[in-house]
Amino acid sequence: MEPNEALGIAAQVAVALAGFAGVVVVFRPQSLHQWSALDRARLHLLLHNSICPLGYALFAMLLLSVKPASENIWRWCSVFALLFQLPGAIIAARQTRAVGKEAYQGVGGTLLFYLIAAVGTGSLILQFINLTWLNQFWPFFLAIFVHLMAAVLQFTRMVLLLPQKDEAK
């Protein structure tokens, strides 16, 4: 599969996942400001993990449309991914600390969160490697894939798990 085809499919999946986030919000019994901190954090992760791959894919498609194509296109894409992935990881870590580890433990989310964080960190490191040495499509596309899989898992959890009670209330 050519990079432009893979990027187009990834962009479509990312848009669908972002739309599913809206479905989750609409079908919850209470309004968004009444959700628990954990459920709001889950929604934030779902949106982040669906919007980032859309931005990555669109940026790469933009660079692919420029003729003649730069020989460093995948380096630039990795830089773009790093600019969004690194702050996103910091925000997610802060949000997790704010919600509290105990809130994640009740539904087996701690292991899943740390697993996704470890894979995301590996993807982040791979972007640095792609930037400095590789200049290949696959490390950049792996970042898209990691975000999309995290969004799918987050969406599944939000749909299947009951809303959490906020202990602060």
For the chain, the average pLDDT equals 89
Give every residue of the chain whose pLDDT is below 70, as ranges.
Answer: 101-108, 164-169
Q: Which long-range contacts (CB under 8 A, 24 or more apart) does 21-26 make?
A: 21/46, 21/47, 21/50, 21/155, 24/155, 24/158, 24/159
Quote the pTM value: 0.91
| Tokens, residue 82 | 């790093």
